[in-house]
């Protein structure tokens, strides 16, 4: 036991030494006034690092639906789905999700993390061609930790292809045993880089090589496509992806995750995944809020357009000031700093001197040397707020003689 305690101490000291020890800042999110949060002393902070992308967490329709559910159904579901924890709300939400993504069936999980981990590990725990032929999984180099955990669980033959690199993906697909069961796993919008996957081309490769396709649309649901189903809907390629995964935690403004797919695939996961079976079902409060949020987002064209407009304005302003913004085609605006200490230093300075909260993103979320501030403007981040942020950064860059640079 003493050895283990020493080990923990050393491990934590090491993280501190690298400037990436995680300190949580207590900030109160408010039903009104987003994107301003409150410090414990009651003072306001302008937050640039929330994934409540469209401020749906504070939408009156969502709040009312959640409150009404709490008043009529109580706070919690009480037990797992299989026992007495399936409310008609859960069924309605799953039907809506299937419809949103053009699939037969939907399945709700307690988080997006669990949905990826449970769905992928359940698929890969099967041996469609017999025990001698494990799955070959083709996984984008920037895939989220939740997918990686699910993929690694049962040790398939794993091929990591370079981020969004179709040539590398095809090379790896072509080199694999043609008879082996294959799965391609990718995201649509990548959370730390803001890059968008070439979904149609990936779908075509999957068809050519007979691979199952698994798509994480966590940073795209609610935000892209005519009804907010994500990039696959926008690009007209929903049919090319066997399983689509999403979250209620980001653009929906609540919490929880889900998959959508064919009746057969979803039923198989529903019937086998421990992460689905052995856990208390989503509280009715959350399910009701998610259903309401989904309803609003289906036609939230103005919110989506305004979010894209604010992201563009922020990118343009940062770029005009010579600040190292990574130009992306999505709503995610990364400011590349490089160096954990410097990244945290910038964030601390903004918080203390400008009452602006920006989250430094360090290893292992991004590679060492690629530390960044990840900015996610919502429709409620006004031009004046953007000017305020860019002004503060510009002042700091001048004071500290930080490099002005163009990032490709």
Ligand X SMILES: *Cc1c(COP(=O)(O)O)cnc(C)c1O
- Given the complex with ligand X, which of 294 and 386 has the nearer CB atom? 294
Q: CB neighbours of 109 closer than 8 A, spacing ≥ 6?
A: 115, 118, 256, 257, 258, 259, 275, 276
**How is residue 67 written in tokens?**
């409150």
State the minimum distance, in angstroms, from the CB of residue 95 to ligand X. 20
**254 forms part of the interface with ligand X (CB under 6 A):** no
**247 forms part of the interface with ligand X (CB under 6 A):** yes
State the minimum distance, in angstroms, from the CB of residue 3 to ligand X. 34
- CA 262, CA 242: separation in Å to the nearest integer? 7
The dihedral sign for the CA sequence 373, 378, 381, 386: positive
State the minimum distance, in angstroms, from the CB of residue 385 to ligand X. 24
The count of residues interacting with ligand X (CB under 6 A) is 14
- Given the complex with ligand X, which of 150 and 181 has the nearer CB atom? 150
Instruction: Kindly list the catalytic residues.
Output: 250
Residue whose Cβ sits closest to ligand X: 112
List 106, 107, 116, 318, residue binding ligand X (CB under 6 A): 116
**How is residue 130 written in tokens?**
């017999």
**249 forms part of the interface with ligand X (CB under 6 A):** yes
- Given the complex with ligand X, which of 187 and 193 has the nearer CB atom? 187
**402 exposed, middle or buried (CB, 10 Å; 0-12, 13-18, 19+)?**
middle
List 144, 172, 234, 374, residue binding ligand X (CB under 6 A): 144
- CA 12, CA 375: separation in Å to the nearest integer? 28
- CA 219, CA 200: separation in Å to the nearest integer? 18
- CA 193, CA 223: separation in Å to the nearest integer? 17
Site string for ligand X, 156-195 (x = CB under 6 A): -------------------------------x---x----
- For ligand X, the binding residues (CB under 6 A) are 111-113, 116, 144, 146, 187, 191, 216, 218-219, 247, 249, 257
């Amino acid at each position: 036991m003493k050895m283990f305690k020493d080990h923990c101490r050393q491990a934590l000291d090491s993280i501190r030494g690298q400037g990436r020890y995680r300190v949580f800042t207590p900030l109160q999110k408010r039903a009104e006034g987003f994107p301003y949060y409150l410090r414990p002393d009651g003072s306001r902070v302008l937050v640039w690092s929330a994934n409540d992308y469209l401020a749906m967490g504070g939408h009156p329709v969502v709040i009312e639906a959640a409150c009404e559910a709490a008043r009529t159904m109580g706070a919690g579901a009480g037990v797992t789905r299989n026992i007495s924890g399936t409310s008609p709300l859960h069924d309605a939400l799953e039907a809506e999700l299937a419809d949103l993504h053009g699939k037969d069936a939907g399945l709700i999980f307690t988080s997006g993390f669990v949905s990826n981990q449970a769905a992928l590990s359940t698929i890969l725990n099967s041996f469609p061609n017999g025990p001698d032929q494990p799955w070959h999984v083709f996984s984008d180099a920037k895939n989220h930790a939740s997918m990686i955990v699910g993929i690694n669980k049962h040790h398939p033959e794993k091929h990591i292809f370079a981020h969004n690199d179709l040539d590398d993906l095809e090379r790896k697909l072509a080199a694999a045993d043609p008879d082996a069961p294959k799965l391609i796993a990718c995201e649509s919008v990548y959370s730390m880089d803001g890059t968008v996957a070439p979904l149609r081309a990936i779908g075509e490769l999957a068809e050519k090589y007979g691979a199952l396709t698994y798509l994480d649309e966590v940073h795209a649901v609610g935000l892209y496509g005519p009804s907010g189903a994500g990039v696959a809907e926008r690009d007209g390629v929903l049919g090319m992806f066997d399983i689509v995964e999403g979250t209620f935690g980001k653009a929906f403004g609540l919490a929880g995750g889900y998959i959508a797919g064919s009746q057969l695939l979803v039923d198989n996961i529903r019937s086998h995944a421990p992460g689905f079976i052995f856990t208390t079902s989503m509280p009715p409060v959350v399910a009701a809020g998610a259903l309401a949020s989904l309803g609003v987002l289906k036609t939230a064209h103005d919110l989506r357009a305004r979010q894209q407009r604010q992201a563009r304005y922020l990118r343009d302003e940062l770029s005009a000031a010579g600040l190292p913004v990574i130009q992306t085609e999505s709503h995610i605006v990364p400011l590349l700093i490089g160096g954990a200490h410097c990244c945290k230093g910038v964030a601390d300075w903004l918080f203390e001197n400008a009452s602006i909260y920006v989250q430094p993103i360090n290893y292992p979320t991004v590679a060492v040397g690629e530390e960044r501030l990840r900015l996610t403007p919502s429709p409620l981040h006004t031009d004046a707020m953007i000017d305020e942020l860019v002004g503060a950064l510009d002042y700091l860059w001048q004071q500290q003689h930080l490099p002005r640079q163009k990032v490709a």
